[in-house]
Chains A and B, each alone.
Chain A
Amino acid sequence: MHGHSEILVRKLAKRVHRHEVGTLNSVDEIINDCCKSLQITVPTIVYCESLAKNFSAFYLDDDPYIIFDSCLIEALSLYDRIVLSGNNEEDLTKFFYKLIGEELIRNGELRRCLYMTGKYRQLSFSFDDESGAEYTDSTVTPLLSLQTYFILGHELGHLSVAPRYRTIDDRCDQNNQDEQDKQREQLEATGAYTGKATASASKGVPTAYRDFIDECMNVIREHSGLLDSLGYYLDEDPSTFKYAIAFDESFFYRNFVEECYCDFQGLKLLLEHYEKPEDSVRGISLAMSYLILQEAVRSDMTDNKFFFGDKTHYASRCVYFAVLRMQVMFVTLQVNKFENPFRSFLNTWSSLWPKLVEKIPSEEAFEAAPFFSIPINEERLRSLLMAAFYYRSVR
């Protein structure tokens, strides 16, 4: 067994830090509250402000931890302001440059990031001038609070269903006996096989919830028009639901169900906590929209599809699943009674993202730029770039 603090230090080091963050009492309270409702052990909370921009819950041995990254709250607060002030194209473009630029810093592509920093600085957010004063902290702070509740609830939901350490017999593909036997033999040879002596810690997602998701998928399939606006981003016609059908009973589908279940936990905790369901739905929709945006940018850049420049790239599966998750949530809430802010997100995004990406110079053009061969102090440049994208610390 390893020292948890050493592992945590290593985990945090990978996240590309911006500032040190102390304990945040409001977050402690939310987490305690959620854990009480979920009847799980309160995890150790690790605070940070990093370009990973996510919350992450996990077990180290049997001890639960959650990383609270206040850069996610900063980005969410910016996104909320952009949407509340009317989805101004310049605001969104500037925001995209921040997302892309910070991702380049994370990937160590600092020289390439210089272009994004420059573009980011040339634009201004409309809500930062006097005319945007109505979208001040007093408007955004309550929204951020409920979004934090939802995302933390989702992450803690993962802790509540985490299998942790189960036996090889529990976990192996039951249909692949040969592989199971082979792996067991290998482990036995080293004395590593722990057999049935290792306890399973969780029963996972309840069967009744799995049945519910199956029903939701049927409802969504019957209303395939729900996904029509996504044509550009998908490599398959969404109306065929090829993915969903292919993934039924698969590993991916099981993971999808777990994500939906955790969304449901976040939703449930939020609705128990706040009295205005309309505000909650709007907050969740905005939070999910932002997370989809972040993941789509990240996924495109990870897959080296960033410089696509034409329309031949195929869509991130991330977008497809995220949209399905949102639809499941709306079916759960029977949300047709409420305004669906998610649809306007899809419309705005699907028109703006391709336009923006087409303007970004090609990979070859970047590499031909003279500064690519000049030696630089990478540490200093990283700090400068991170500072350039800094908006404000939101806690």
Chain B
Amino acid sequence: MIEIELIVKGETPELFSLPREEVTVVTEKNFNGDLTTIELYISEGLNILFLIVSLIKSYIKQKKVSSLVLDKDKIELHNVSEETIMKVLDAWAQRNSRKKVSKKGS
């Protein structure tokens, strides 16, 4: 299972339309309700992984994401350029898709 955690300020409706058999979405609001922690638990489906990454990228461009946790590494977005975070996300998606492909192959 792959896990992504986002802390967002704003609405992210598209994530809730993802197929529930492939992605479990858990949301929690902070004390003030202005930040929402969204955890995405992804099982199978490479298309979904790349779709989620593209959705996250669009949220980042819209300045909705304040931090991101990929493989337990937390990235505070105010410390990183948009360009860098896009590269990190692409590399992360590629790495995970390779893992899945090799699992299927073995």
Binding site for B on A (CB under 8 A): 1-2, 6-7, 10-11, 54, 56, 58-61, 158, 163, 165-168, 170-173, 183, 186-187, 190-194, 198, 251-252, 255-256, 258-259, 291-292, 294-295, 302-304, 317-318, 321-322
Residue of B nearest to A107 (CB): B74
What are 15 inter-chain pairs, A to B, with CB distance below 8 A?
A2-B43, A11-B26, A158-B29, A167-B17, A168-B13, A168-B14, A187-B14, A251-B10, A252-B33, A255-B29, A255-B34, A294-B31, A317-B32, A318-B31, A322-B32
- If A192-B51, A251-B10 touch, does A295 touch B31 (CB 8 Å cutoff)? yes
**Could you tell me the distance between the alpha carbons of A292 and B9 in the complex, rounded to whole angstroms?**
19
Q: Is the CB of A259 within 8 A of B32?
A: yes
Q: Is the CB of B34 within 8 A of A317?
A: yes
**Could you tell me the distance between the alpha carbons of A36 and B51 in the complex, rounded to whole angstroms?**
40
Q: Is the CB of B24 within 8 A of A295?
A: no
Q: Is the CB of B51 within 8 A of A186?
A: yes
Residue of A nearest to B64 (CB): A251
Partner of B26, one of A58, A158, A186, A304: A58
Q: Is the CB of B48 within 8 A of A171?
A: no
Q: Is the CB of B1 within 8 A of A2?
A: yes
Does B39 touch A at the CB level, under 8 Å? yes
CB neighbours of B14 from chain A (8 A)? 168, 172, 183, 186-187
Partner of B33, one of A6, A192, A258, A292: A258
Q: How far is the CB of B17 from chain A (nearest CB, A)?
A: 4
- If A7-B41, A167-B17, A192-B17 touch, does A321 touch B32 (CB 8 Å cutoff)? yes
Q: Is the CB of B33 within 8 A of A321?
A: yes
Chain B contact-residue range equals 35 or more
CB neighbours of B79 from chain A (8 A)? 304
Q: Is the CB of B20 within 8 A of A7?
A: no
CB neighbours of A302 from chain B (8 A)? 76
Count, A-B residue pairs, CB within 8 A:
112
Q: Is the CB of B43 within 8 A of A304?
A: no
Residue of A nearest to B31 (CB): A295
Does B3 touch A at the CB level, under 8 Å? yes
CB neighbours of A291 from chain B (8 A)? 31
Q: How far is the CB of A138 from chain B (nearest CB, A)?
A: 30
Partner of B24, one of A1, A163, A186: A1
Q: Is the CB of A59 within 8 A of B26?
A: yes
CB neighbours of B32 from chain A (8 A)? 255-256, 259, 295, 317-318, 321-322
CB neighbours of A163 from chain B (8 A)? 16
Q: How far is the CB of A201 from chain B (nearest CB, A)?
A: 11
Given A168-B14, A192-B18, 18 more pairs with CB closer than 8 A: A1-B21, A2-B24, A7-B26, A56-B28, A58-B28, A166-B16, A171-B16, A172-B13, A187-B17, A192-B48, A192-B51, A251-B10, A251-B11, A256-B34, A259-B32, A259-B33, A304-B76, A318-B31
Q: How far is the CB of A309 from chain B (nearest CB, A)?
A: 19
Q: Is the CB of A171 within 8 A of B13?
A: yes
Q: How far is the CB of A99 from chain B (nearest CB, A)?
A: 14
**Could you tell me the distance between the alpha carbons of A322 and B30 in the complex, rounded to whole angstroms?**
11
CB neighbours of B47 from chain A (8 A)? 190
**Residue of B28, B30, B32, B79 ringed by the most chain A CB atoms within 10 A:** B32
Partner of B34, one of A11, A304, A321: A321
Does B105 touch A at the CB level, under 8 Å? no
Q: Is the CB of A255 within 8 A of B20?
A: no
Q: Is the CB of A173 within 8 A of B11?
A: yes
CB neighbours of B9 from chain A (8 A)? 251-252
Q: How far is the CB of B33 from chain A (nearest CB, A)?
A: 4
**Could you tell me the distance between the alpha carbons of A2 and B24 in the complex, rounded to whole angstroms?**
7
CB neighbours of B96 from chain A (8 A)? none
